[in-house]
Amino acid sequence: MAADGLLDTIDRQLDWQRDLYRHFHQHPELSLNEHRTAERIEAELGGLGLESLRIGGTGVVTVLDNGPGPTVLARADIDALPVTEDTGLDYASTVDGVMHACGHDMHLVALLGAVRLLSEHREAWSGTYVALFQPAEENAAGAQAMLDDGLTARVPRPDVALAQHVMPAEAGTIGTAPGPVLSAGDSLRITVHGRGAHGSMPHTSVDPVVLAASIVLRLQTIVSREIQPGQFAVVTVGASNAGTKSNIIPDRAELLLNLRTYDPAVRAQVIAAIERIVRGECAAAGAPREPEFEYYDQFPLTSNVAGAHQTVTEAFTDHFASGQVFEAVPATASEDFSRIPDAFGIPYVYWFVGSVAPETFRAAVEAGTVSSVIPANHSPFFAPALDPTLEIATRAHVVAACAYLRP
């Protein structure tokens, strides 16, 4: 298969990729502020003789036009998190309070590696390869920013889109699954209004503290009673805040909700139930004003279409050794990647790349302590095993693309 020949030279470029990885890890930048990151990506692409586009502020895209054939879009996210690194690595973050704690540095360097391989082996494939470096995945703003900046009109329309994410599985493995792999995530700010009063005069108030408490308890019934048993849905009230002093009844309360679903119909059902419950509780309380609902940080569902998933998974299975490709279980995390293929109206495949040193992972599995001892994404101790994760992630991008870009 084409990818196999292409990948023969990967050893020659791995040190370049490792250095790049250490560089980006040491210089993390927060969402929408990935200026130096974008400039370095552009510089590296330039070094490969490739032109690039700036789209969406700190987004970078390069297009490898290589004759007739399908168009594949591969995306890597590039932003870091407001976390203070505590890994003790010699290439730890040099930026106080900012860290690549979610592996986007791995994603972007793997994609640069794939671009170099495809660029240097144009004889081995045919078609168009669009490598997209997306900012601001963490706050769900980056994909939208690129779309708002005209992405769909500025690059060739792809036939399929690809993306990957490191996860706490054994390094050297790849996990794929058809259907939902990441949940849709929605944040919601609810403001309910009461009437303030001195704490000794509750009869002159409409108490928003009691109102908010009633709402919080009633919201529990959405998952417990309204959603079909076994159906995935999460309704979390992550914050509930009202008042600052013991003897002043405040005039409002604010709830911050986070919703997770795998099914748009369930998502719609959850949102309708929340608004119905909040309005009903406000009516029960005699609230003087209607509640306010503000949706934010909305992540789309990530759900692999069966056909594309099969194409890519078969390519992985062909390329990697037995046991390296496993069937992933859907994660409750969320991503904004799917906005891009959804904007084009094309299928996509999103897969996971294990990043924990094998011996560490196996010991944790045996001890039953995977979730407790292995630092998860967003932890100050998050530290992917550079090898073989970086090589596997680079290979995965090339293999997946070549499943479409056969010469």
Annotated binding site for Mn(2+): 102, 104, 138, 165
Interface size with a copy of itself, residues (CB under 8 A): 79
Which region among 18-26, 69-77, 275-283, 309-317 touches a copy of itself (by CB under 8 A)?
A: 275-283
Judged by phi (left if over 0) then psi (alpha if -120 to 50, else beta), residue 56 lies in: left
| Whether 91 contacts 26, CB under 8 Å | yes
CB of 188 to a copy of itself, least distance (A): 7
Interface residues for a copy of itself in 277-316 (CB under 8 A)? 277, 279-286, 297
Tell me, what amino acid is at 407?
Answer: P
x/- string (CB under 8 A) for a copy of itself, residues 5-34? Answer: ------------------------------
Tell whether the torsion through CA atoms of 402, 405, 406 and 407 is positive or negative.
negative
Closer residue to a copy of itself, CB minimum distance, 19 or 294 = 294
Residue 390 found at the interface with a copy of itself (CB under 8 A)? no
Tell me, what amino acid is at 128?
Answer: T
Place of tokens 């939902």: 180
Residue 216 found at the interface with a copy of itself (CB under 8 A)? yes
Tell whether the torsion through CA atoms of 218, 224, 225 and 227 is positive or negative.
positive
Interface residues for a copy of itself in 234-273 (CB under 8 A)? 234-250, 253, 256-258, 260, 262, 273
CB of 297 to a copy of itself, least distance (A): 7
Residue selected from 227, 312, 386, 390 as contacting a copy of itself according to rule CB under 8 A: 227
Closer residue to a copy of itself, CB minimum distance, 124 or 255 = 255
Q: Please report, for residues 74, 88, 94, 319, 352, the alpha-carbon distance to residue 324 in angstroms, rounded to integers and kept in the order given.
A: 22, 29, 34, 10, 12
Tokens for 352?
């996971």
Interface residues for a copy of itself in 169-198 (CB under 8 A)? 183, 185, 187-189, 198
Q: What is the CA radius of gyration of the chain?
A: 24
Tokens for 270?
């959850």
Residue 203 found at the interface with a copy of itself (CB under 8 A)? yes
Closer residue to a copy of itself, CB minimum distance, 68 or 247 = 247
Closer residue to a copy of itself, CB minimum distance, 177 or 357 = 177
Question: Crossing angle, helix 386-402 and helix 104-120, to 10 degrees?
Answer: 50
Closer residue to a copy of itself, CB minimum distance, 180 or 347 = 180
Residue selected from 30, 210, 305, 346 as contacting a copy of itself according to rule CB under 8 A: 210
CA gap 316, 176 in Å, rounded: 9
Residue 231 found at the interface with a copy of itself (CB under 8 A)? yes
CA atoms within 13 A on the CB side of 365: 10
CA gap 26, 87 in Å, rounded: 12
CB of 200 to a copy of itself, least distance (A): 4
Place of tokens 């991503």: 335
CA gap 87, 82 in Å, rounded: 15
Residue selected from 96, 200, 327, 345 as contacting a copy of itself according to rule CB under 8 A: 200
| Cis bond upstream, residue 291 (ω within 30) | no
CB of 56 to a copy of itself, least distance (A): 23
Which region among 38-46, 81-89, 330-338, 396-404 touches a copy of itself (by CB under 8 A)?
A: 330-338
Residue selected from 38, 147, 212, 392 as contacting a copy of itself according to rule CB under 8 A: 212
Q: Are strands 179-182 and 302-304 parallel, antiparallel or unpaired?
A: antiparallel
Residue 84 found at the interface with a copy of itself (CB under 8 A)? no
Interface residues for a copy of itself in 141-170 (CB under 8 A)? none
CA gap 15, 387 in Å, rounded: 11
| Whether 396 contacts 8, CB under 8 Å | no
Q: Please report, for residues 28, 299, 333, the alpha-carbon distance to residue 376 in angstroms, rounded to integers and kept in the order given.
A: 18, 20, 12
Closer residue to a copy of itself, CB minimum distance, 43 or 217 = 217
Residue 103 found at the interface with a copy of itself (CB under 8 A)? no
Residue selected from 84, 152, 220, 369 as contacting a copy of itself according to rule CB under 8 A: 220
CB of 377 to a copy of itself, least distance (A): 10
Could you give the 3-state DSSP secondary structure of residue 207? coil
Residue selected from 92, 223, 343, 363 as contacting a copy of itself according to rule CB under 8 A: 223
